[in-house]
Amino acid sequence: MAAPSSNPYAPPDPSYAPGAFVAPLPAGVRRFTLDPVKLRALVVRRVVVTYGVIGLGAVGASVAMNGVVGLFAGVGIAVAVVVSLLLGQRRSVKLQQATYELLLGPHAMRRTLGGFLPAEILRDEVTGIYETHLGLWIMCAAAARSLFVVKAVEGFAEVRAELATWHPIEAHGGLQAWRTGRLGAKRQGARTDAAAGAAPIDAAVAAELVGLRAASSTAWQAYPTRASVPRGKLVLVLWGLLIVVFFVIWEVLQPAPRPRQGRRLPARPAPTAPAEE
């Protein structure tokens, strides 16, 4: 099989088999893949922590509306939501294990993953590195590019130590981490000279980026890019609608409460007229 094109958007070779091509690395470039154990643990934690809140809300609403019976119904819904999402993530985990690759060079990085376009950044253009509970977001302002390094990467400590020499790492948590992730996700993509505000790059850096593209795995090309609405969010919306429909049906089919009646007193005998003498 021929080496892949340096164009990151080139169509896959018809004779391609996922994971069949692993090119030798240029000097100074390191390749990182995902640790299966860390990846599964990260996915479970994300589902339980993030979507478990919905389950707790369902339990609380059920208890408020239907007491003890609602408690069992709410717990059942919460368990069903979490289990469904975990089962839905199994295919995603397998895809990530088979296609994820991170190439780290002295002045450039490239990440490929099935379902996404390649992401690339240059060291000299990095304006911020932010660490969340899921990993590291590397941001470039002038070139409007970003790249995410998940904590499930095998050798994450090594990657983090190298990136700390590129730019100081800042910790983000809570709402700030969520906003950072939202902004970074929109900017992930290949680095191009036509990027708005991007300055011309050095010839040596350009050659290193071309070398990363040539050495990059082609496994990601076997999968279509992700739709505009992530599958996980779509499943979450459907489960939310199911919960609402469940409560509506519960209220409609629930028998109407009987009017409360007061305690009946025994009837008094009717007074009788005194007998005439």
More confident residue, 176 or 238: 176
CA distances from 64 to 13, 67, 241 (A): 58, 6, 19
Lowest mean per-residue pLDDT among 21-30, 135-144, 194-203, 258-267: 258-267
pLDDT at 82 over 90: no
Bridge partners, residue 120, by sequence: 110
Which range in 1-10, 44-53, 129-138, 189-198 is most confidently predicted, on average pLDDT?
Answer: 129-138
Average pLDDT over residues 216-224: 84
Q: Among 3.10.50, 2.30.29, 3.40.50, 2.40.50, what is the CATH number of 30-35+102-227? A: 2.30.29
- Is 41 in contact with 49 (CB distance < 8 Å)? no
**Model confidence at 171, in pLDDT bands (50, 70, 90)?**
very high
What per-residue confidence (pLDDT) applies to 4?
Answer: 44
Average pLDDT over residues 30-42: 88
**Model confidence at 59, in pLDDT bands (50, 70, 90)?**
low
Could you tell me how many residues make up the chain?
277
Where does the chain hold its CATH 2.30.29 domain(s)? 30-35+102-227
Q: What is the pLDDT of residues 149-167, one digit of tens each?
A: 999 999 999 999 999 999 9
Closest CA to 190 of 5, 3, 24: 5
Extended beta strands in 114-270, E state:
119-122, 126-131, 135-140, 145-150, 169-171
Q: What is the pLDDT of residues 89-110, one digit of tens each?
A: 677 788 888 889 999 999 999 9
What per-residue confidence (pLDDT) applies to 168?
Answer: 96
pLDDT above 70 covers a percentage of the chain that reads 55
- Is 118 in contact with 215 (CB distance < 8 Å)? no
What per-residue confidence (pLDDT) applies to 5?
Answer: 44
Average pLDDT, the chain: 74
Write down the pTM of the prediction.
0.66
- Any idea what the Cα angle at residue 208 is, between residues 203 and 213, rounded to 5°? 125
What per-residue confidence (pLDDT) applies to 13?
Answer: 44
What is d(CA 196, CA 141) in angstroms, rounded to the nearest whole number? 10
Angle, helices 36-46/52-99, rounded to nearest 10 degrees: 160
What per-residue confidence (pLDDT) applies to 74?
Answer: 60
